[in-house]
């Protein structure tokens, strides 16, 4: 049996939620004061995911960095692996919003896309 | 030069105001004056996601959110000038400068002030110590990292737990910096819970509530800061000092609406918001001069800025068309217990075209309490809220018909249980 | 750069630069050595910016003489060098009937020193000219010849003028030893050694150290720290004069004054400290500044502070300016203990010392000397037509970089390109005011960094706040180090 402590992010209450688990099974969720907190806790203990937003190098552009994001949220424990891949990558100007800059980032199967346009020199 | 409406500032507020004004009346000639070299304002450096859930029903990053507005300009025939700084505003004209035109005047029917806000700098915080390089406001650091691609530091302490500070804690960490801690003077954070969890907790960055920086060391570049716990009067408690080695101090200690132009134009300023006093149409004390977005009051969500600015833009369009404002009863909106301010400050009932949104902030954290709306002392609405914090803007929406009996005063208050 | 000069001046604060400008009238070779990256980095950069009338110092003292003469010279100097200067007058305020005598004594001393047109004003007269004066005010000494000046421009303009008349400047050059070899002085520095006929010691808080390298009659300087608060320009007009409390043994006390740029300045405290280079602002200092300010000015909105800073005065134990050839050290001239009223006195010290040195080295005047030096062109001080023409020819004067102070790219470029130009953010700030406003560079500093990087052809991560190790950014993102 394992107890996991979380802070709910749905509202400023920030309820401290305790989830008791047995392997992958949730035995109990305590401390939440609403349904949204319950759902948040269940998702967060099973598969916490985050969208990574950062920048990527651009060559031949009016700017040498462009902002980007993972098109979907990636597993939380993969954040730094994703960053490492993005940090090493680069793209060529021009870049348009939504352009795919990296396919299958760090084996997550998730795309990295540009969030801003960069014109070429 | 001439325009029907001049919008001062091409950030989220200016873009939304311009677009709604144009949609209200396609024949209007609308001109946005933007001091930076691109539209979008501060959204350009806010590359994180979380924007647009209310406006577009999806989660966008700052630049994507701005682009959704920018791409509408051409179709609506909205003109804009970049690298153009407004020097002076009055009810019928705006004076500005840029490198092409020099100093020039635009005569106009209405002006919408959308200058946004600036960060409170170190100097305004009275932080003792030396004055080395390495002390930045969080927003300056955000620009350096996200737009210019430079690292303002490697070992970082952040003072203030405003959202920009929290976002930068994560951003610096992702870029390989070590964020040692975030100190917050108040016993609660001014930032969103979601940011505390996803920007600090995810990366094991401690949030030290009731803590402040009491000394900055380092002659040339910051070498350390001394932090201490504070008592309920925000005074450092002797014996709680800790010296933290770092090369950078980021400050996220509040935003100040940029109302220098408004003040010199003679616009009446509300001392609680540091923004103009406005009516239901977001018109300031000077007829034909409107204000919206963070120059009016500091918002927590850009979606609210867009919504509010849309109303301001429509009002400006109507003003240009009708000129004369309707005579009629005026309802004063007052802030009662626990409410720091309200926007707007008063309502001209006859000018109200749809519902009335009253936005406000609390002065403290209230748990399990009620937001109450009183018409001339009589409770009209009472809404239970599990939590109210100064960090999150609150609102009540009144229907036009609710105001049919025209009370002379509306009071908004927080009632504790 | 050559290594042999007629004269070497150690220190490029106001004193050193005032002497350099005066000496540049003569046929001689002159070098100014500065340990920091720019002029105006020590005591001269952090002070009250006051041109004192001259009633404070003891009658007959050098402090009194130099103050009176300096004050007199200031009008023409500021015209020649394009320095913002306003004679707004000062009030020394008495808030306790029991201390009225002190005001009369001060007035008498002023008259003896030669201060013109002073008056003792009574409560109602003071209120009339200074509406926000404390209700406790009893009387005040009014001296109309006191004024406010831009201390940065004063220092920089003196240096620029010296430079245009042939004086060399060497920065990042710290003097490590001074010795005599035959008839020559050898000045060893962190970047090489120099020989000269005469050395002038204008080393501020380090002047005793330099003096003690050569003389047996030792001096001792105590760095005296003073904290200040600078308030927003929106308060312009809140006070109209330089308002002092009655002086004490530690100095003139905490004043409240407008600055030439429309800010309100409050301070300084006076605390003797060890460090000659580091002046941290302290919490205690800031609270003393606030207490001191509200004693004499009612309702001063101290919440509108935009920055706090701290400066060091070079207080010599004797409490007097030392302006002389060091005993037994022919050709070694001291300017030691230049604390208040040093800024006011600098034109007089320049004149006085240059004359001594010219006599000592039998120098002759140059045929041509240009004492005029214009400041950076400021588009908002021009007429509409002039400004339009300027922007048409140089579009960079139409691009605002510092929003708070309305400073254009053209002004920043000028500040960097001119002789002895700015090399750092602080250098740009002191020459143009970019970054000196209410946002304290939050908005403009990345842009000024870009301009410095472009103009000086250096990578952005080499741009500093104030030279040396004061780097602003520590490498690029994306792991490029």
For strand C322-325 and strand C119-122, is the pairing parallel, antiparallel, or unpaired? Answer: unpaired
Q: Cβ A53–B49 below 8 Å, yes or no?
A: yes
- Chain C segment 451-480 residues within 8 A of A by beta carbon are 477-479
pLDDT of residue B404: 81
Residue B73 sits at φ, ψ, to 5 deg, of -60, -50
Neighbours, chain B (3 or more CB pairs < 8 A): A, C
- CB proximity list for C56: less than 8 A, separation 6 or greater: C63, C67, C106, C109, C247, C252, C341
Q: Is C52 a catalytic residue?
A: yes
pLDDT of residue C481: 43
pLDDT of residue A24: 86
Question: What region, left, alpha or beta, does residue C242 occupy, with left being phi > 0 and alpha being psi -120 to 50 degrees?
Answer: beta
Query: Residues C447, C467: contact at Cβ < 8 Å?
Result: no
- Tokens 């705006």 appear where? B94
Beta-carbon neighbour count of residue C95 at 10 Å? 17
For strand B289-291 and strand B102-113, is the pairing parallel, antiparallel, or unpaired? Answer: parallel
Q: Cβ C475–B150 below 8 Å, yes or no?
A: yes
Q: How far apart are CA C161 and CA C167, in angstroms?
A: 9
Q: How far apart are CA B185 and CA A31, in angstroms?
A: 27
Q: How far apart are CA C275 and CA C140, in angstroms?
A: 36
Q: Cβ A57–C478 below 8 Å, yes or no?
A: yes
Is B126 an interface residue toward C (CB < 8 Å)? yes
Torsion angle, alpha carbons of A68, A73, A75, A76, to 10: 70
Q: Which residues of B touch C464 (CB under 8 A)?
A: 133
Per-residue pLDDT tens digits for A23-32: 889 999 999 9
User: pLDDT exceeding 70 applies to what percent of chain B?
Assistant: 99
Q: How far apart are CA B291 and CA B116, in angstroms?
A: 10
pLDDT band for B349, please (50, 70, 90 cuts). confident
Q: How far apart are CA B214 and CA C284, in angstroms?
A: 11
Q: Which segments of chain C have a pLDDT < 70?
A: 1, 479-481
Structure tokens at B215: 């000394």
- Chain A segment 68-107 residues within 8 A of B by beta carbon are 69, 76, 79-80, 83, 97
Name the residue facing C479 among A55, A65, A87 (closest C-beta): A87
pLDDT of residue C1: 66
Helix axes B12-24, B302-322, angle to 10 degrees: 40
Name the residue facing B47 among A13, A67, A83 (closest C-beta): A67
Helix H or strand E encompassing A31: none
Can you tell me the mean pLDDT for B27-37? 97
Beta-carbon neighbour count of residue C428 at 10 Å? 30
Per-residue pLDDT tens digits for B81-139: 999 999 999 989 999 999 999 999 999 999 999 999 999 999 999 999 999 999 999 99
Triad C70, C73, C76: Cα angle to 5°? 150
Among A104-118, B317-331, C132-146, C330-344, name the one with the lowest average pLDDT.
B317-331
Can you tell me the mean pLDDT for B336-348? 95
pTM exceeds 0.85: yes
Per-residue pLDDT tens digits for B370-403: 999 999 999 999 999 988 988 889 999 999 888 8
A54, pLDDT greater than 50: yes
From the list B271, A113, A94, B262, the residue with the least C-alpha distance to C304 is: B271
Per-residue pLDDT tens digits for B210-236: 999 999 999 999 999 999 999 999 999
pLDDT of residue B230: 98
Q: Cβ C286–B126 below 8 Å, yes or no?
A: yes
Structure tokens at C144: 């109309």
- CB proximity list for C204: less than 8 A, separation 6 or greater: C11, C13, C15, C42, C43, C44, C312, C314, C338
From the list C69, C303, C235, C466, the residue with the least C-alpha distance to B218 is: C466
- Residues found in chain A: 121
Torsion angle, alpha carbons of B59, B63, B69, B70, to 10: -160
Per-residue pLDDT tens digits for B33-48: 999 999 999 999 999 9
**N-terminal to C-terminal alpha carbon distance within chain B:** 58
pLDDT of residue A13: 80
């Amino acid at each position: 049996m394992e107890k996991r402590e979380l802070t709910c992010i749905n509202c400023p209450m920030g309820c401290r939620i305790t989830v008791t688990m047995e392997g992958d099974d949730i035995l109990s969720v305590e401390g939440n004061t609403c349904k949204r907190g319950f759902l948040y806790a269940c998702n967060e203990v099973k598969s916490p995911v985050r969208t990574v937003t950062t920048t990527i190098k651009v060559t031949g552009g009016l700017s040498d960095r462009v902002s980007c994001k993972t098109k979907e949220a990636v597993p939380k424990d993969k954040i730094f692996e994703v960053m490492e891949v993005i940090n090493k990558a680069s793209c060529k100007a021009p870049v348009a919003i939504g352009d795919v800059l990296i396919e299958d980032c760090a084996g997550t199967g998730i795309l990295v896309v540009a969030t801003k346009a960069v014109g070429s020199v | 030069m001439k325009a029907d409406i001049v919008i001062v500032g091409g950030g989220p507020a200016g873009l939304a105001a311009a677009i709604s004004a144009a949609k209200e009346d396609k024949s209007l000639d609308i001109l946005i004056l933007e001091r930076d070299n691109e539209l979008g304002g501060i959204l350009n450096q806010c590359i994180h996601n979380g924007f647009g859930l209310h406006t577009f029903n999806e989660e966008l990053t700052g630049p994507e959110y701005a682009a959704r507005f920018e791409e509408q300009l051409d179709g609506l025939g909205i003109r804009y000038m970049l690298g153009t700084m407004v020097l002076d505003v009055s009810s019928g004209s705006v004076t500005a400068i840029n490198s092409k035109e020099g100093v020039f005047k635009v005569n106009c029917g209405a002006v919408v002030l959308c200058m946004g806000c600036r960060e409170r700098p170190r100097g305004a915080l009275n932080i003792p110590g030396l004055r080395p390089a390495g002390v930045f406001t969080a927003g300056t650091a955000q620009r350096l990292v996200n737009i210019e691609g430079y690292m303002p530091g490697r070992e970082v302490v952040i003072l203030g737990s405003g959202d920009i500070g929290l976002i930068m804690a994560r951003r610096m960490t992702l870029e390989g910096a070590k964020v040692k801690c975030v100190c917050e003077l108040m016993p609660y954070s001014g930032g969103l819970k979601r940011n505390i969890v996803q920007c600090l907790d995810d990366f094991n960055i401690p949030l030290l509530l009731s803590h402040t920086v009491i000394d900055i060391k380092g002659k040339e570049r910051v070498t350390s800061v001394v932090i201490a716990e504070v008592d309920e009067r925000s005074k450092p408690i002797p014996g709680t000092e800790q010296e933290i080695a770092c090369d950078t101090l980021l400050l996220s200690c509040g935003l100040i609406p940029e109302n220098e132009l408004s003040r010199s134009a003679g616009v009446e300023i509300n001392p609680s918001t540091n923004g103009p006093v406005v009516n239901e149409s977001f018109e300031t004390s000077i007829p034909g001069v409107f204000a919206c977005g963070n120059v009016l009051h500091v918002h927590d969500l850009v979606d609210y800025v867009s919504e509010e600015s849309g109303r301001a833009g429509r009002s400006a369009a109507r003003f240009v068309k009708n000129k004369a404002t309707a005579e009629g009863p005026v309802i004063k909106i007052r802030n009662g217990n626990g409410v720091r301010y309200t926007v707007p400050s008063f309502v001209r009932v006859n000018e109200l075209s749809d519902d009335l949104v009253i936005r406000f902030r609390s002065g403290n954290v209230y748990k399990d309490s009620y937001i109450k709306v009183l018409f001339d002392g009589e409770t009209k609405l009472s809404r239970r809220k599990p939590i109210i914090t100064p960090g999150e803007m609150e609102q009540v929406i009144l229907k036009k018909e609710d105001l049919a009996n025209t009370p002379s005063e509306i009071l908004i208050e927080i009632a504790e249980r | 750069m050559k290594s042999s000069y007629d004269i070497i001046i150690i220190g490029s604060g106001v004193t050193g630069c005032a002497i350099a400008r005066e000496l540049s009238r003569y046929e001689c070779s002159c070098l100014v050595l500065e340990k920091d990256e720019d002029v105006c980095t020590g005591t001269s950069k952090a002070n009250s910016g006051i041109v004192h009338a001259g009633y404070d110092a003891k009658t007959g003292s050098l402090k009194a003489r130099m103050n009176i003469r300096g004050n007199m010279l200031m009008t023409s100097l500021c015209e020649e060098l394009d320095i913002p200067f306003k004679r707004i007058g000062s009030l020394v305020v008495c808030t306790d009937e029991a201390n009225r005598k002190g005001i009369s004594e001060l007035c008498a001393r002023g008259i003896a020193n030669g201060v013109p047109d002073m008056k003792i004003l009574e409560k109602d007269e003071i209120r009339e000219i200074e509406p926000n004066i404390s209700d406790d005010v009893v009387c005040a000494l009014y001296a109309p010849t006191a004024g406010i000046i831009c201390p940065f421009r004063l220092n920089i303009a003196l240096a620029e003028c010296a430079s245009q008349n042939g004086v060399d400047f060497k920065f990042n050059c710290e003097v490590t030893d001074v010795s005599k070899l035959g008839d020559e002085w050898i000045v060893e520095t962190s970047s090489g050694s120099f020989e000269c006929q005469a050395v002038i010691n204008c080393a501020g808080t380090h002047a005793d150290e330099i003096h003690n390298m050569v003389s047996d009659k030792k001096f001792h300087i105590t760095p005296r720290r003073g904290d200040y608060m600078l308030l927003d320009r929106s308060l312009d007009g809140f006070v109209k004069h330089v308002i002092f409390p009655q002086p004490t043994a530690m100095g003139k006390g905490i004043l409240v004054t407008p600055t030439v740029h429309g800010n309100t300045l409050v301070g300084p405290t006076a605390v003797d400290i060890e460090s000659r280079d580091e002046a941290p602002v302290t919490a205690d200092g800031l609270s003393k500044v606030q207490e001191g300010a509200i004693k004499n000015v009612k309702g001063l909105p101290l919440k509108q502070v935009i920055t706090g800073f701290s400066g060091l005065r070079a207080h010599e134990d004797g409490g007097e300016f030392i302006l002389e050839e060091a005993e037994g050290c022919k050709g070694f001239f001291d300017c030691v203990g230049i604390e208040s009223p040093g800024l006011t006195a600098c034109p007089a010290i320049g004149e006085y010392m240059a004359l001594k040195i010219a006599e000592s080295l039998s120098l002759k005047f140059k045929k041509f000397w240009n004492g005029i030096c214009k400041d950076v062109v400021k588009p908002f001080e021009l007429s509409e037509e002039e400004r339009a023409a300027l922007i048409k020819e140089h579009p960079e004067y139409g691009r605002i970089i510092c929003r708070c102070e309305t400073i254009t790219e053209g002004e920043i470029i000028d500040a960097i390109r001119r002789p002895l130009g700015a090399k750092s953010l602080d250098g740009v700030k002191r020459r143009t005011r970019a970054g000196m406003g209410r946002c304290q560079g939050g908005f403009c500093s990345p842009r000024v960094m870009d301009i410095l990087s472009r103009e000086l052809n250096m990578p952005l991560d080499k741009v500093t706040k104030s030279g040396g190790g004061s780097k602003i950014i520590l490498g690029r993102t994306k792991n490029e180090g």
